[in-house]
Structure 1
Amino acid sequence: MSSTPASERLHSRDSLSKEALAAIKKVFKREQGGPSKCRICGNQLKVDKFSNLKRHMQNLHQREYAEILVASGSNIEEMKIASFAPVTFDQNFLAECCVKMVTVGGLPFGVLERPGIADLLGFRIQRQTVLHSISLTVEAFREKIIDELKGQIICVKLDTVTRAGQSVVTVFSQLLRAGKFEMRTLAAYDLDFATPAEEMKAKVIETLGDFGVDASQIYAITTDNGINYPIATQLVYNAKRDALLSVDNGISFDDEDVGFSGETDQLEAGDYLEGNTKEEDALSVITHAIDEGVICAANAFHCCAHDAIRSLKLKKQLDEIRIVVNYLRTEELRKLFVRNHLSIPKLEPEIRWNSVFSMLSQLIDQKLFINELMDENDEPMLTAEHWTFIEKFVEAFDPFHSVTHTLQEEIMTMGDFYLLWLECLLRIEELANNYIAKALIAALNSKQEHLFESRFFLAALYFDPRINYGGSELLSEEHKCIAIDQILKLWEKIRHTESIEVSAHAENGSSNSCSTNFRLVEAMLRKKHSLKDLGRSAVEKKLKELALQPRISAESNVLVHWEQRRNSEPELYKLAQIVLSVPCTQNTAERAFSALGFVLSNRRLKLSKMTLSDMVFVKLNHDLFQQVEIDYMKSRSNYTP
């Protein structure tokens, strides 16, 4: 038996007899000055090499290839290779795989043209072919999402993530269906913090329109913390409200009918990002928007942390510690850390508290080793006062770190967030002798007042029997009244949306067994039945009864609770699905950052804006591959040998 690897023999002329070589060549007709054409299937091979002819036979014409080997008396090793089950490709499946590889998998386009992949397939897949398939995927995904959002009242969230100097703004929709969050990426486009608010507004409105989302379908919009985002969001509200008011639909609107849940806080001069306006009119718009909305839950924790650090003026201590850490990272000492199987100390920027927490936590873990190094050197060192500060900082911020990690990883309701908030507050209150903890407690209590100024936050808590129950002291009577008023406004929005659906159904009604057209009768019956169950007074009564319900455990799942009441309380259930769906975590931002990291790798820094947007869109909605069938062959494509 030959010692030559089978993988080498597979592409070698020497492993075939002269008779086999000649027989394989006869299968192909070579056009003068052109490529070889298979006489069996009619496909043309772009590269006229014998290895390609042979591979074409092995992959597509196994029976004929085996017959050639038998007739030519080829050696037993080549017969075994031919007997392997060949890899065959359905063109549509191959196109989908290529799209997944470059979007979901993050592979560069050039991979598909490299010799290894080209040899495996027997032909090369051009970059433009894959780009065309990505466009078809975007089109199919968009149609699916439009169908999912049709007639639904949704929440919208805007996030921005940056990699390699490129910022991508993502527009997400979020809703609750059957007790589960459904999040979709509606768009991802290349904008940045300095993009004018008017341009952002136009993009958001255009995106919502592309997905058939009407103004009456938006319950709340949560934005990123860039200065121009709340301005743009307010402009979107104004535009949408004006559009609604221009139509006599029987609904009155004020500035709070479409929700604003901005991830912004009162900003200081030093908080402005380069390129953003600092004019007074911009500040007034931001303040107005903040007063009307709810501060994003996840961002509220970060604001509390930075408020506490500023109030204690900890910059001096942190700067001194960074000097020592910088010294520990010198080449000589780095080798000592590596030699002792320890991580090299991190030198984190002072911009984010969680980066500082990570740096100080690592110092505590390596305290004994660091002190030994300090005893042997006369360079800057950490004193007992420094270590006391480090330990108190880590002790106080540890509950914060746990909570923010949860907010980044999970999708949750406002009620879940508030229970996390209380748990964090109670844990910090146990640190009676920690002065940093006291500053955090003060910041949490101050920020909680801002949270309770939001109608959307209060409405969500009102629908949570872990928080709103008979005898509860977590919501005041004033808070309950505000929540009920907000929920009743939402009920009017639901009635308006359903009346539109009734009209649409009446216009597009299907034929019946009788020759008479009952279009008007059907519309009247559907409308009466719909509005009969949606009476404002009846719903208001049911809402007030929620404040008298028994408490359920804080460990309970509020979404499961409302699923169990779906049939017994259909009106309240419908409201709960919307009120509880307001985004309050950084999960979308984490997903967008991860997607951008995959798509915008170091070898893809020159992607066009359109390609980048399409690839992030597909990456973030990749689960739709399992739900849609895409005909990649409906227009000219090249996924054949």
Structure 2
Amino acid sequence: MIEVRESQTAAFLKSKILETLAEYNVSVERLFSVTCDNGANMVAAVKQLKSEIELQFFEETVDEESIADVEPGRDISEELSTEFYERVNLVRCAVHTLQLAILDVVNKSHESVKNLTNIAKKCKNVKYKTNFDHHGASLPPVWSQTRWCGIFKMIESFKTQRNFFEQLASQFTELDISSHWDFINSYHDAFRPLYICTKKMQETHVSLSDFYMAWLMATSEIKKVKNNPFVASILTSLNKRLATLRESRAFKMALFLDPRFNYRGSTVFTAVEKEEIQGFIMDTWKRIHDLESPSSLNAANDTSSELGCIDEFDDYFTAMFGGSLDTDQYPNESNFLQQMQSIGLESRQNHSYNVWDHWLRRKSTHPELYAVAMVVLATPSNQVSVERAFSALSLVLSNLRTGLAEDTLANILLIKLNKDLFQQAVSSLYNWKDVENVNQQN
């Protein structure tokens, strides 16, 4: 988390992202996806990051000799730009998109919302406090533009305390909301599934396919609401917004690798789409393979040298029975393709099936697909973690701690936001038996 004072243009955001990656020694080529809100500046910044990767790839792979061999008039940079345009996958925040779908139907300009908001503000007046305290009632929350489902929470407060507010209105006519009860009931019934869906999205990590399942469950619940003036508009908005989310290459890969969506007889994808997604998966695997650290490659080479006797036996075995060992740099593409195609031949799993465990069990039998699945499943579907980080910042950077240095604040947040990982890291930093022996000697 960094403090910025300049105008947050796409170019500025891209430069800050690259600076942050450099600080943690992460090359831009290692970016698989960027999850951001639907703001035009963020979307444009991701597109500029894509261009950054395209430029680096171009510089690394095209030398003078290869350029000399290019046919006259052929724009190789444009071809490479097209081929590697999706090397960084733009993932629009699912929760933010869901809130936009809600506001497409009812927003702050709705007459009932404005009137109920004014009543909620009036309720804070001290002259009503005795009534709220006497009946054990809670103040209706005044919603904020930056709070998800704020309008729903305010309306739910009125609905669940209807008897109290009717009694209150009989004493204070300025708090009368009798003309809005039909709106309150209709809004609550129609939008409650979307509120529940939003709460599900606020878990520690929600993968792209888990988000899609939650979205579909919410849609299913909305369809059960009969004779409601908002249902038709909500469903139209949800379908429109979902179409934008499904354009993401990462989203398509996530559904393809999820046996709840890709199974024998599934119609989630057409045959043409499946072939396209299989190409995405193969490209991703090749990126993973190419980005393996030199240390891991050296370790593999060291292991091979230690097992020289096995290599000699392989030669002996080949002399006896023929054939040859597979030494290709990449997995046999035909075998890899068969494994990807076989995914769609498996049985369908129920909506609560654990996809993480599904691929963990296939780590040894489908190593290439497993590697891709771990990347795709790790792709966050929303920015809830960012909102959680802002909340943590407000607790750390209080009015009494405004003198914290920037580095100190960054380190505190790093530990606070990654406390589970930090506990694991600390346990492996020392040989605790040695530490205990030193303490005993002292």
2:191 to 397, 418, 421: 397
Give the equivalent residue in structure 1 for 2:298: 505
Q: How far does residue 469 in structure 1 lie from its aligned partner after superposition?
A: 0.7
Q: Tell me the residue number matched to 2:425.
A: 627
Q: Which residue of structure 2 lines up, in the alignment, with residue 387 of structure 1?
A: 181
Q: Which residue of 2 aligns with 1:247?
A: 60
Distance 1:215 1:203 in 2: 12
Q: Which has the higher strand share?
A: 1
Deviations 1:433-487 (A, max 9, x none): 1111221111111122222222110111000010011111223334323322211
Show CA shifts across 1:328-358 (max 9, x none): 3322112210122211232224565611111
Q: Which structure shows the higher helix fraction?
A: 2
Partner of 2:291, secondary structure, is helix
Pairwise CA distance, 1:529: 6.0
One-letter identity of the residue aligned with 1:570: P
- Offset at 1:240? 2.5
Residue 594 of structure 1, CA deviation = 3.2
The 5 Å alignment of 1:10-89 reads none
The answer to whether structure 1 residue 258 and structure 2 residue 106 are counterparts is no
**Cα contact 1:415–1:464 (8 A) shared by 2:** yes
Distance in 2 between residues matched to 1:567 and 1:196, nearest whole Å: 45
For residues 363-374 of structure 1, what are the structure 2 equivalents within 5 Å? 363-374=158-169
Out of 118, 124, 134, which is 1:329 matched to?
124
Question: What corresponds to 2:35 in structure 1?
Answer: 222
Judged with a 3 Å threshold, the aligned counterparts in structure 2 of structure 1 residues 548 and 511 are, in CA distance, closer, same or farther, namely closer
SS of the aligned residue for 1:343 comes to coil
Are residues 320 and 587 of structure 1, via their aligned partners in 2, closer, same or farther at CA, if it must alter by over 3 Å? closer
CA distance in 1, matches of 2:141, 2:392: 26
Query: What's the counterpart of residue 238 of structure 1?
Result: 51
Matched position secondary structure for 2:173: coil
2:353 to 556, 559, 567: 556
Q: TM-score, normalised by structure 2?
A: 0.80
Indicate the residue corresponding to 1:539 in structure 2: 336
Looking at CA atoms only, which structure, 1 or 2, has the larger radius of gyration? 1
Over the residues paired in the alignment, what is the CA RMSD in angstroms?
3.1
**Within the alignment, does 1:408 sit opposite 2:221 as a pair?**
no
SS at match of 1:379: helix
Q: 1:410·1:585 contact (CA, 8 Å) conserved in 2? A: no
SS in 2 for 1:194: coil
Q: Which residue of 1 aligns with 2:250?
A: 456
**1:483–1:326 distance in 2 versus 1, CA, 3 Å:** same
Alignment deviations for residues 3-41 of structure 1 (CA, whole Å, 9 cap, x no partner): xxxxxxxxxxxxxxxxxxxxxxxxxxxxxxxxxxxxxxx
Specify the alignment match of 1:482 in structure 2.
Answer: 276
Structure 2: runs of 5+ lacking an equivalent: 67-78, 312-324, 431-442
Task: Extract unaligned runs of 5+ from structure 1.
Answer: 1-187, 262-293, 519-527, 631-641
After superposition, give the CA deviation of every residue in 1:159-218 in whole Å (9 maximum; x if it has no partner): xxxxxxxxxxxxxxxxxxxxxxxxxxxxx2212683343333223223223333233322
Task: Answer yes or no: is the 8 Å Cα contact 1:306–1:353 preserved in 2.
Answer: no
Q: Return the alpha-carbon distance in structure 1 between the equivalents of residues 373 and 304 of structure 2.
A: 35
Correspondence for 1:119: none
CA distance in 2, matches of 1:209, 1:530: 35
The one of 365, 380, 397 equivalent to 1:600 is: 397
The 2-side partners of 1:493 and 1:394 are apart by 47
Structure 1: distance between partners of 2:4 and 2:133:
42
- The secondary structure found in structure 2 opposite 1:627 is helix
Distance 1:483 1:366, change over 3 A: same
Q: Tell me the distance in 2 between the aligned counterparts of 1:260 and 1:506.
A: 31
Q: In structure 1, the residue corresponding to 2:89 is in which secondary structure?
A: strand
Once the two structures are TM-superposed, the CA of residue 297 in structure 1 deviates from its matched residue by 2.0
The equivalent residue for 1:202 is 15
How many residues of Structure 1 are paired with residues of Structure 2 in the alignment?
Answer: 396
Flag the structure with more relative contact order, 1 or 2, with Cα contacts below 8 A and sequence separation at least 6.
1
Change (3 A) 1:597 1:318: same
Letter in 2 for 1:486: F
Aligned partner of residue 92 in structure 2, secondary structure: coil
> Which residue of the partner structure matches residue 372 of structure 2?
575
Residue type at the aligned position of 1:348: W
Change (3 A) 1:529 1:208: farther
Q: Distance in 1 between matches of 2:364 and 2:305?
A: 30
Residue by residue over 1:403-449, the C-alpha shift from the partner in whole angstroms, topping out at 9 and shown as x without a partner, is: 11111123122111111111000000011211112211111111222
Contact 1:217–1:497 under 8 Å retained in 2: yes
Provide, for residues 97-117 of structure 1, a one-character-per-residue CA deviation record: whole Å limited to 9, x for no partner: xxxxxxxxxxxxxxxxxxxxx
**Residue 506 of structure 1: how far off its partner (Å):** 8.2
- Larger deviation: 206-215 or 400-409? 206-215
Superposition deviation, residue 610 in structure 1 = 3.2
Percent identity, please.
28
Q: Which residue of 2 aligns with 1:169?
A: none
Tell me how far 1:226 sits from its aligned partner. Answer: 4.4
